[in-house]
Amino acid sequence: MKKDKILEWSGVITAIIYSLLVAMNIGAEFFGFTLLLISAILIGLWAFIGKHNGILLLQLFYASAGILGMIRWY
């Protein structure tokens, strides 16, 4: 599998897990926000490589939200 596909799909899977963890409200918010940050980095790298500037900007926002969420729930 090509590196860009690995970045893309790893980011998607971690974002899905993040969403489910936070939505279930089971006390795993810190771990969920950590996954959001990881997802944003992975998809951000994919967007940078593929020159998808709009998605890259969105991932910068998601990374910021992940860091804020981690600080908030620590």
| pLDDT tens-digit series, residues 30-56 | 999 999 999 999 999 999 999 999 999
Listed by start position, the domains of the chain span 3-73
Q: Is the pLDDT of residue 13 over 80?
A: yes
56 three-state secondary structure: helix
Q: What is the pTM of this model?
A: 0.92
